Amino acid sequence: MATKRAAAKRTPSRRTPVAHGLTETQRLRRIVQSFSKISVLVVADMIADEFVSGEIARVSREAPVLILRHRERTLVPGGGANAVMNLAALGVTALPVGLVGDDEAGRSLLQIFRRQKISVSGISRIKGYTTTTKTRVLAFSAHSSRQQVVRIDRECEALSDSHPALLELVNSAREYAPAADAVLLSDYGYGAVTPRIYNLIRARGVLGETPVTLDSRYRLLEYDGITAATPNEGEVEESLGVSIGDDRARLLEAGAELLRQMRLEALVITRGGDGMMTFERRETPVEIPIFGANQVVDVTGAGDTVIATYTAALAAGASNYEAAKLANYAGGLVVMKRGTATISQGELLAVLAD
């Protein structure tokens, strides 16, 4: 607990406005260079992404399936834990709060965080609790790249609202809050971050004017008091019960409606190969084209990279557009990497240098 208390007592840097009179690229570079001066509180569903790779040996006689000769197994932080890793890779001080089980996956996540100098005092380890683990089986041959053939999910049981671990989670977040320049909520639906938990964290004005960003898979409209959200197009369609497709007018209507219903200051809708669309109160929506090559290698965890970069930029004093632009660059870079990956501060600066 000593690490957490020290972080909470530290005088926060708070956001420093980026100097005017600079070109857009110069402003973006200044924002990225200031990432090492900021801290972000991340309340998240901690997920382990496991990748099991095997070389195709033959077709089984037992069933029409491939037999793979095992070659490699890796486990990396996924979901909200991946957002934490992306913040750390960008040079941000990440303050994660969440739950893991007292199992191999949970222990591995904590070890990875420790190796990256990320505080783990805000993460509760629960005996008998299953750390959510997504196992992707990848097949390859001597003349082909690795392709995912199946995914197996091991999911935790939902904790009751009165479970002591949830109270500890709320207290951890409230202790970290004074040190945070922004708060990132990564809700994958596994119970560590919910509208109720968020309301308990922010009770009595604990968060003050600190910007809060949200990435919620299933319940966007249930949150209140959020600064900005970064849903993908499918999540927007599901939340509002609409179909957008290639209809730009419907996209604009949906964005304006979500902005209104959630009472957001800003909204970024990610659209895969079609880039992003940003919305702000009393501002004209802005379209940001996709960055990078059209041939995507792997989209696993790209949304975590986007919200991590976007949140870091807001914490550093960026405008909504500037934050979205940087998130678009980061997202374009990360989908060119295999598996659950991160983007470093150096990679983002190299893109801006070009």
Pairing mode, strands 144-154 and 133-141: antiparallel
- What DSSP letter does each residue of 112-148 carry, written as one string? HHHHTT---TTEEEETTPPPPEEEEEEEEETTEEEEE
| Residue 187 among the catalytic residues | no
Q: What is the DSSP secondary structure assignment for residue 232, as one 8-state letter?
A: B
Catalytic choice (102, 224, 304, 354): 304
Which residue type sits at 348? L
- What is the number of other CB atoms lying within 10 angstroms of the CB of residue 125? 17
Which two three-digit tokens encode residue 194? Answer: 């919910």
- 323's enclosing H/E stretch is helix 320-334
Q: What is the DSSP secondary structure assignment for residue 290, as one 8-state letter?
A: P
Would you call 2 helix, strand, or coil by DSSP? Answer: helix
- Sorted by sequence, the CB contacts under 8 Å of residue 146 that are 6+ apart come out as 53, 138, 139, 140, 338
Burial of 213 (0-12, 13-18, 19+ CB in 10 A): buried
Determine contact, residues 67/91, Cβ cutoff 8 Å: no
Q: What is the DSSP secondary structure assignment for residue 241, as one 8-state letter?
A: T
Q: How far apart are CA 193 and CA 187, in angstroms?
A: 6
- Sorted by sequence, the CB contacts under 8 Å of residue 220 that are 6+ apart come out as 214, 229, 231, 235, 236, 239, 258, 262
Determine contact, residues 340/300, Cβ cutoff 8 Å: yes
Determine contact, residues 221/187, Cβ cutoff 8 Å: no
Catalytic residues, which ones?
304
